[in-house]
Amino acid sequence: MTAPSRRERLRAATIAEIKQAARRRLVDHGPAAISLRAIAREMGMTAPALYRYFPSLEALVTELVADLLDEMTDSMEAARDAEPEGDIRARLYAVTRAFREWAITHRPEFTLIFANPLPSLGHPNTRRDPRQPDCLAGTRYGDVFARLFVELWQRRPFPVPSREELPPGLLAQLDRYRELTGTPLPTGALYVFLSCWVRLYGMVALEVFGHLHFALDEIEPMFEAEVARLARRLHLDPPATIR
Amino acid sequence: MTAPSRRERLRAATIAEIKQAARRRLVDHGPAAISLRAIAREMGMTAPALYRYFPSLEALVTELVADLLDEMTDSMEAARDAEPEGDIRARLYAVTRAFREWAITHRPEFTLIFANPLPSLGHPNTRRDPRQPDCLAGTRYGDVFARLFVELWQRRPFPVPSREELPPGLLAQLDRYRELTGTPLPTGALYVFLSCWVRLYGMVALEVFGHLHFALDEIEPMFEAEVARLARRLHLDPPATIR
DNA sequence: ATCCATAGTTAACGCCTGTAACTTAAGTAA
DNA sequence: TTACTTAAGTTACAGGCGTTAACTATGGAT
């Protein structure tokens, strides 16, 4: 646990600068512009030097994705913590809106994270290694939603499907997930959680990918309407303030 | 309207073969493997020859996307037409399931269509030209859903939010969309349509992109549960057979 | 003062898109 | 049939890419 040496500090700074340059290229020139040569050029270096810091372009992108997920999670947590601790309703709204806000103000980054858009990520839809940093970061942002959801359930339980109402195949999987995570939520609430996540993701992804522009050009009112419907489903209105 | 000349036939066949090779590379080796040289190699040609048929790689990919959308639409229409004409419930179920079925049996293609994953598509989230073939094809598959939805509404109207219940900003946009398309649906039903589309898309996209594997490994039961909930929302159960 | 790991370099291989200039073959008109 | 035109293909090349190998300079530790 000694203080980092001068070498280590310089190295960390260089790594940060590389990822910064990569992100700048992503934002300014699209995902295809993330290239070692271009990054090195921006930094006044040559491309092979970057191999001292990352074993490959793909590894660099993977770390960048993890950083972006962390940043998104941070902004969601900040929005949550700006609301009083007892006001779960306000906190859920805040986190939900922060998710969309980050997505639409960071479209290239969101696309990189959620739609495997980079050639260097190789053939999509191959099983990922859960020990990879981007997968770990992936669980973090999910937990922000999950923890609030659990809190809401414990303080103001809402109606959820009974075990009998869930199809057996789904019930078994959700039970397994329940054991795996040790969540206090009943299985039916897990289903509701996933269902809400599907709608939130669908809404934001469709907006970012531009697949709602055939009908709407300003998506926010539709988003707010959907969030309000989600809130009603969770019996979140009227305000669920406690204490 | 004369019969196509020999030249024209050969040319069309070559174009088809190029797109076929491009798709084979997409499926077998991922989106990054769609390169003019690789395609030309597979066809026993040289890369510059392909410029006789497409002005650029990007144009080729755009046409491929349009073809894939058409194929997806065809399979949805086939599933629809396999059900009796009067049984709207069965037809809606069939189209919905066909959408998912095509997506999960054609994951690379679905990803290419719905998540801008290709470098050659350039910077994502720039406004597309609606005259582009892929945008035209995009409206076709939406119409499959839309027409059934209208038919259902006309024969078995379901509850929809009143104009007063919709936030003004959303109402105005939906009214404009209503005029633009001349649909017989009331504005509230348009909202329900979009809302259903969001949930269906969210479910399928999350499955294809692998963002549900943190909880589930077999997604079909969850999909069926969500579809059942959508059906209930449309008062689709019990069976809405007519005639 | 010496040694060595680290961070950088240049050179090269084999991909890639895209353009220019050239050849060949087919279709068309005199 | 011959001559002209055009389409479809070729090679050559410019410039960008990831990655490896071999080499150099330099800062820190012994």
Each residue's pLDDT, cut to its tens digit, for chain A (243 residues) gives: 556 777 789 999 999 999 999 999 999 999 999 999 999 999 999 999 999 999 999 999 999 999 999 999 999 999 999 999 999 999 999 999 999 999 999 999 999 998 764 433 333 344 445 555 565 666 788 999 999 999 999 999 999 999 999 999 999 999 999 999 999 999 999 999 999 999 999 999 999 988 898 899 999 999 999 999 999 999 997 765 554
CB contact under 8 Å between B29 and A111, yes or no, is no
pLDDT of residue B240: 57
B-facing residues of A in 138-177 (CB < 8 A) are 138-139, 142, 166-170, 173-174, 177
Which residues, 6+ apart, have CB-to-CB distance to B7 below 8 Å? none
B-facing residues of A in 71-130 (CB < 8 A) are 107-108, 111, 114-120, 122-125, 127-128
- Mark the nucleotides of strand D covered by protein, meaning any atom under 7 Å from a CB: 7-12, 16-22, 27-29
pLDDT band, residue B139 (cuts 50/70/90): confident
Integer Cα distance of B242 and B141 in angstroms: 25
Which has the closest alpha carbon to B100: B215, B221, B234, B194? B221
pLDDT of residue B241: 55
Sign of CA dihedral A141, A145, A148, A151: negative
- Nearest protein residue to nucleotide C27 (CA to C1' distance) is B7
For range B201-209, the mean pLDDT: 95
Question: What CATH number belongs to A1-55?
Answer: 1.10.10
Q: Is pLDDT at B1 greater than 80 in this prediction?
A: no
Asked whether A72 and A141 are in contact (CB, 8 A), the reply is yes
pLDDT of residue B123: 39
Residues from chain B contacting residue A217 (CB–CB below 8 Å) = 173
Sign of CA dihedral A26, A31, A32, A35: positive
Q: Is pLDDT at B115 greater than 90 in this prediction?
A: no
Locate the domains of chain B by residue range. 1-55, 61-233
Residue of A nearest to B224 (CA): A167
pTM above 0.95, yes or no: no
Question: Which tokens sit at A195?
Answer: 């269902």
A87 forms beta bridges with: A241
Domain A61-233 fold is: Tetracycline Repressor; domain 2 (1.10.357)
Integer Cα distance of B119 and B32 in angstroms: 8
Closest CA–CA distance from residue B91 to any residue of chain A (Å): 22
pLDDT of residue A116: 61
CB contact under 8 Å between B195 and A229, yes or no, is yes
pLDDT band, residue B187 (cuts 50/70/90): very high
pLDDT band, residue B136 (cuts 50/70/90): low
Integer Cα distance of B40 and B62 in angstroms: 18
Nearest by CB to A30, from B123, B127, B220: name it: B123
Which has the closest alpha carbon to A196: A226, A163, A156, A152? A226
Asked whether A177 and B215 are in contact (CB, 8 A), the reply is yes
Asked whether A65 and A135 are in contact (CB, 8 A), the reply is no
According to DSSP, residue B138 is labeled H
CB contact under 8 Å between B206 and A198, yes or no, is yes
Sign of CA dihedral B229, B205, A69, A222: negative
Residue of B nearest to A29 (CA): B123
Interface test with B, best of A178, A214, A227 (most B CBs within 10 A): A214
pLDDT of residue A120: 36
**Tens of pLDDT along B23-79?**
999 999 999 999 999 999 999 999 999 999 999 999 999 999 999 999 999 999 999
DSSP B189-227: HHHHHHHHHHHHHHHHHHHHTTTTTTT-S--HHHHHHHH
pLDDT of residue A124: 39
Interface test with A, best of B28, B170, B171 (most A CBs within 10 A): B170
The C-alpha R_g of chain B, in whole angstroms, comes to: 21
Question: Which tokens sit at A174?
Answer: 């959700």
Residues from chain B contacting residue A122 (CB–CB below 8 Å) = 30, 32
Residue A105 vs residues A75, A175, A208, B94, B161: alpha-carbon distances, Å: 12, 37, 9, 37, 30
Question: Which tokens sit at B68?
Answer: 């894939």
Closest CA–CA distance from residue A243 to any residue of chain B (Å): 31
